[in-house]
Amino acid sequence: MPITVQDALPAISQLRQENVFVMPKSRASTQEIRPMRLAILNLMPNKVETEVQFIRLLANTPLQVNVDLLRLDTHRSSANSEQHLDMFYRYFSDVKDTNYDAVIITGAPLAHLEYDEVGYWQELQEFFDWAEHHVTSTLFSCWAAHAGLFHHHGLKRELQGNKLCGVFEHQCYFDHGALTRGFDDRFLVPHSRYGHIDIDKIAECEELVVLAGSDEVGAYLLKNQSGSQVYLTGHPEYDADTLQKEYQRDVDKGLDVDKPKNYFPEDNPALKPSKTWQSHAFLLFSNWLNYYVYQTTPYDINLVSQDVRTNNYAE
């Protein structure tokens, strides 16, 4: 089954070139099934690129998923035209009475700001609380993962002097975890962040389970016991050249930054990097949609607000 988005969304053309099945809403409306409803709160400045990355992963499932793109009322993105946002995004205030089977909250380039220094922090906290009562499962990505862990569990990140940037090897900490089902013993994931939460502090929180990580990156994949919150501190959605673009952008600014680790062939930025994490990324999102959304969400989406979860895949 396809991902369903608004008919004229620019991401459609790029995804179709990759042979990704994306269905316009005009066609989906003719099908008599109950599709899952998913929203993406896109906090990244590069809206279209981020849309493509996440919709690509969501489309690799037999489930039909209707996607809404959301924006916060108090956040204005300087890098995007208001026309694109007005055409394809809904304000949070417009969906407060709406229930979703799943929500993704993207990262944001706010590495060196304290949370209360973020202009839209108050509204984002309101969104976090709203999701707990209107969404079956919420996936927090990178900066949003640290922000969510702080808001929901009081875990404060520490800022490292050097950015953790590159493609790193990870391992699963459970043999039969639902989210990591089918993973290889070792798998690769890109990271690009300054923030870090010590895994020992996370372990003190009984509500959280660390499913995968490594000594070098710490905790990568976490969830709460019910699966209503899933946290990713890395970027499985990244394209092959995303880290390359970030590195070049920092170099052009005159910043003294290290090259991304384990990324460029022969550690040479002039050589084209390969995408070595895509199969893991597809499997992770497929597992999440299957085990913590589709098999857990009530058929009547109006019951989501009553915190009805039919299964508990606690690892």
Cα 103 to Cα 35: distance, rounded to the nearest angstrom: 14
DSSP H or E run through 133: helix 121-134
Between vectors from CA 173 to CA 170 and to CA 175, what angle results, nearest 5°?
115
CA 249 from centre of chain: 23
Nearest alpha-carbon partner for 76 in 103, 45, 110:
45
Indicate the pairing of strand 208-214 with strand 186-196.
unpaired
Q: Tokens in use for 309?
A: 């979860």
Q: How far is CA 83 from CA 15, 110, 134, 255, in A?
A: 21, 24, 28, 33
- Catalytic (active-site) positions: 142, 235, 237
Are the CB atoms for 45 and 79 separated by under 8 Å? yes
Q: How far is CA 20 from CA 58, 145, 159, in A?
A: 10, 27, 38
